[in-house]
Amino acid sequence: MSEFFDALEMRGSTEREAALLKALPLQVAHAKLASPAFAEILQDVNPAQVTSRTALAQLPVIRKHELLELQLKSRSKAGNIFGGFSAKSFGADLPRVFASPGPIYEPEGTAKDYWRMARAIFAAGFRPGELIHNSFSYHFVPAGSMMETGAHALGCTVFPAARARPNSRCRPWPNSSPRATSARRAFCASSWKKPPRWVWPCPA
């Protein structure tokens, strides 16, 4: 099996940068067209001119505390809970909404590997056809879904093991023999009593 996730990872730096800069104006234009918040934030930006690193560096950056402020302002006026940053509205195209501390509301769409985790977990050692023990939370925050959808996109089966005591989460391993687990470092440390790592091989 290839050590690369896909052909994109085998590109040279020049080819990769050219492809990213070619797609950049389209992404900026989409943000202005589909997101009311970005339509306002990028109102003075011409997407067709955002074709270089220098132009990219001139785009305004929305920091996390600013995102929270804009969402709170919108919700105080009975507006969109995402503060106008989501290109999708409630319904079939937006199956889940999460709330991270703040709260900052985050949408999850229907695109395969919506959170783009498959590439990362492939780099961490996950491979198609494996059973993955997912100990990230599925409640409120998106971490559990991020890992699960990435594993599904990679071709893995997922055992959802969040919201349980560490010993309870580990109990199915002798029966199911998962290949790896995705978990917070604290869970790994408490379960194995060894220095924490993100991915641990599981006992058969």
Whether residue 55 sits in one domain with residue 84? no
* Domain closes at, from 51, 79, 109: 109
* Domain closes at, from 72, 91, 109: 109
Q: Quick check: helix, strand or coil at residue 148? A: helix
Whether residue 79 sits in one domain with residue 34? no
Structure tokens, 65: 């505390």
* Domain closes at, from 109, 144, 172: 109
| Average pLDDT, rounded, for the chain | 85
Whether residue 136 sits in one domain with residue 69? no
- Inter-residue contact 25 to 51 (CB < 8 Å): yes
* Run of H or E including 170: helix 166-170
Whether residue 40 sits in one domain with residue 3? yes
Whether residue 196 sits in one domain with residue 129? yes
pLDDT in tens, 178-199: 566 665 555 555 555 544 443 4
DSSP H helices, 77-164, are: 118-123, 143-154
Buried b (16+ CB within 10 A) or exposed e, 14-38: eeeeeeeeeebbeebbebbeebbbb
Whether residue 24 sits in one domain with residue 4? yes
Whether residue 123 sits in one domain with residue 189? yes
Q: Is it the case that residue 200 has pLDDT exceeding 70?
A: no
pLDDT in tens, 119-167: 999 999 999 999 988 888 888 999 999 999 999 999 999 988 876 555 5
Whether residue 68 sits in one domain with residue 28? no
Provide mean pLDDT across the span 59-85: 94
The predicted pLDDT at position 20 comes to 97
Whether residue 131 sits in one domain with residue 190? yes
Residues in Cβ contact with 95 at an 8 Å cutoff, skipping those fewer than 6 apart: 108, 109, 110
Instruction: Give how many domains the chain has, as a whole number.
Output: 3
**CA pair distance 157, 184, nearest whole angstrom:** 19
Q: ω into residue 103 within 30 of 0, thus cis?
A: yes
Q: Is it the case that residue 177 has pLDDT exceeding 70?
A: no
Between strands 96-100 and 199-201, the pairing is: unpaired
Whether residue 190 sits in one domain with residue 170? yes
Whether residue 150 sits in one domain with residue 100? no
Whether residue 69 sits in one domain with residue 51? no
Task: Tell me the residue range of the domain where 17 lies.
Answer: 1-61
